[in-house]
Chain A
Amino acid sequence: METQLTLLFFVLVLSIFLGFELISKVPSTLHTPLMSGANAISGITLVGALLASGSGFVSQPLTVLLGTAAVTFATINVVGGYLVTNRMLSMFKKKKAE
């Protein structure tokens, strides 16, 4: 348990540094798509929601209900986030190729 937590903490710290390195140079043209694309990624909490929602209604009714609500919200976030980002990015064009 303790070693696992320490490892996860290690992962956290590295990911934060990675995130700062990765995104530090984004042209302002892409600020909105970056934000909505990142927002879609934050829907990863869906993974936890799926586990809770599928844990069996008979034995864990409350967990399942909360989990299902979480699945719904997280799915909106994931599906909506990726689609809207794609829609925006499809509009970004360089000089029209006529």
Chain B
Amino acid sequence: MILFEQFNSEIVVNLIYILAAMLFIFGLKMLGSPETARRGNLVSASGMFLAVVVTLLDQSIIDFSFILIGVCIGSLIGFFAATRVKMTAMPEMVALFNGFGGIASLLVGSSEYLVGFDPNSALLIAIYLTVLIGGVTFSGSLIAWGKLSEIISGKPFLYKGQQIVNALLLGFILLSGLEMIFFQGLFTENQFQILGIICLLAFTLGILFVIPIGGADMPVVIALLNSFSGLAACAAGFVILNNVLIVSGALVGASGLILTNIMCKAMNRSLANVLFSGFGAVTDTASGETADQGEVRPVNTADAYLILEAASSVLIVPGYGMAVAQAQHSVRELGELLEANGAEVKYAIHPVAGRMPGHMNVLLAEANVSYDVLVEPEDVNPIMETVDVCMVIGANDVVNPDAKENEGSPIYGMPIIETDRAKTVFVLKRSMASGFAGIQNPLFFKSNTRMLFGDAKESVSNLVAEFKG
């Protein structure tokens, strides 16, 4: 009878896990369209709630006090982080959350390993992968967070012998895996040592994997770490033999990979290039030729106003500089004034503009810009000749004509927003410093380009003031 009840409740628990997985699937599906996205997030959250509640009913849980402590601390931190964070700090926040997911999976895998169950190579493989992926996600995300919040330099960090160090590290990681799964004590004395070494190697790998990557490539890294955090949860699912972990982990892994792929395509680099050879070869500092490209033509606010005032179509191209200057609200105000003046205003957003996928969209949404005036490069490039004024606000590499014209350029082949074909281009820029790829931008020297130097927020506010007269 007792056996029967246990059997029964296990089926119920598993059915509820399946229901939770279904809610995740529906939630993710609904996140794919702006109209349903918010509900989708709620659907997915209710799936999570269901999974947690049913887990708490598990008979193997005999003490709730520690769970309570963990859940309270975690909820508090999560709540404050999510409600207090500034929208401009969103990339660092997402990076940090990815890392927390990774370390949680690592800890779950470690605790199962140290319980001392009967050694079974399938489970050991799962534990090894959980700890490895979780560790890489954690330390990699911390580095990404440091780079994004500028605690450490956003410049790519390259050193001599990088490839050799990486190859050695991968060798050690493989060896430590064999030690854990098959040798079981050939080189180490106990489980703690093996586990400690694998954690250490995983953390090192994560650091070395992200540290050479420059700020402009961060969208790829964040999307990839997002995918890893899912894969770590998925591997943890094999450790505790739980279907809902496997399903949701795989879903997150897949969605992260798709985003990674979109980001790579937007920079004309292959996924394999980022995954494998991307280790060291991310940014070749080919800033060598500073050939004289002619004079730049500065413009002052008053003249810029006159041109904008006469324009009947304006395209705003935001980049990371807009986020740094926190100019999104002023930009929206200017956009509204231009519209009131009879101009058609659109915002062209490059997929890798900013520091994470969709960074610019979030900032403009915060500033109350309707999402249906945000357009993608392939929509706007064919009609670029009809645009009267293009305003490039803090974007650089994503509007660099070298990507089309100069075969020697490191960014040759990258799809760009072809602002140089508009009738007039305003480039709002602090100074003539080159972008994160360290490449000179010929757009600044074109005859239809006018440079509006200064802080982006200040320049836009000045234009707004001119309009208000």
Contacts and interface: CB of A to CB of B under 8 A. Distances in A.
B110 to A, nearest CB: 6
Contacts of B229: 39, 42
11 contacts: A22-B29, A38-B226, A42-B226, A42-B229, A49-B107, A64-B63, A67-B70, A72-B71, A75-B71, A87-B82, A89-B38
- What DSSP secondary structure best describes chain B's contact surface? helix
B357 A35 contact: yes
Given A12-B246, A62-B111, A22 B28 contact: yes
B358 A31 contact: yes
A57 B62 CA distance: 9
A81 B97 contact: yes
Contacts of B97: 36, 39-40, 76-77, 80-81, 84
B104 A70 contact: yes
A87 B79 CA distance: 11
Contact of B115 (A16, A60, A80, A86): A60
Interface of B: 24-25, 27-29, 31-34, 37-38, 40-42, 44-45, 48, 51-52, 55-56, 58, 60-64, 66-67, 69-71, 73-75, 77-79, 81-83, 85, 87, 90, 93-94, 97-98, 100-101, 103-105, 107-108, 110-112, 114-115, 120, 122, 222-223, 226, 229-230, 232-234, 236-259, 262, 349, 351, 356-359, 361-362, 365-366, 368, 370-372, 374, 376
Given A54-B60, A64-B66, A75-B70, 14 more contacts: A12-B246, A22-B255, A29-B371, A30-B34, A35-B222, A38-B31, A39-B97, A42-B248, A45-B108, A52-B111, A74-B101, A80-B82, A82-B44, A84-B93
Contacts of B120: 1
Contacts of A93: 365, 368, 370-371
B357 A32 contact: yes
Contacts of B222: 35
Interface of A: 1, 4-5, 8, 11-12, 15-16, 18-20, 22-57, 60, 62-64, 66-96
A62 B253 contact: no
Contact of B31 (A1, A20, A33, A49): A33
B248 A55 contact: no
A27 B254 CA distance: 16
Contacts of B73: 72, 75
B127 to A, nearest CB: 12
Which A-B residue pairs are the 6 nearest by beta carbons?
Answer: A75-B74, A19-B254, A71-B70, A31-B358, A79-B78, A80-B78
B52 A52 contact: no
B358 A30 contact: yes
A73 B100 contact: yes
A1 to B, nearest CB: 7
Contacts of B103: 70, 73
A18 B250 CA distance: 9
A35 B358 CA distance: 9
Nearest to B353: A28
A95 B108 contact: no
Contacts of A40: 44-45, 48, 97
Contacts of A35: 94, 222-223, 226, 255-256, 259, 356-358
B31 A45 contact: no
Given A33-B41, A38-B226, A48-B108, A71 B67 contact: yes
A44 B248 contact: yes
A16 B250 CA distance: 5
A57 B409 CA distance: 61
Contacts of A20: 254, 257-258
A67 B243 contact: no
A86 to B, nearest CB: 6
Contacts of B42: 86
Contacts of A11: 243, 246-247
A40 B74 CA distance: 13
A92 B122 CA distance: 45
A95 B370 contact: yes
B101 A43 contact: yes
Nearest to B20: A44
A50 B357 contact: no
Contact of B358 (A32, A67, A72): A32
A82 to B, nearest CB: 4
Given A4-B241, A56-B62, A18 B251 contact: yes
B24 to A, nearest CB: 5
Given A60-B115, A87-B83, A44 B27 contact: no
A54 B64 contact: yes
Contacts of A36: 94, 97
A12 B250 contact: yes
B239 A28 contact: no
Given A40-B44, A41-B24, A34 B82 contact: no
A30 B42 CA distance: 16
Contact of B371 (A47, A68, A70, A94): A94
Given A34-B259, A71-B74, A54 B63 contact: yes
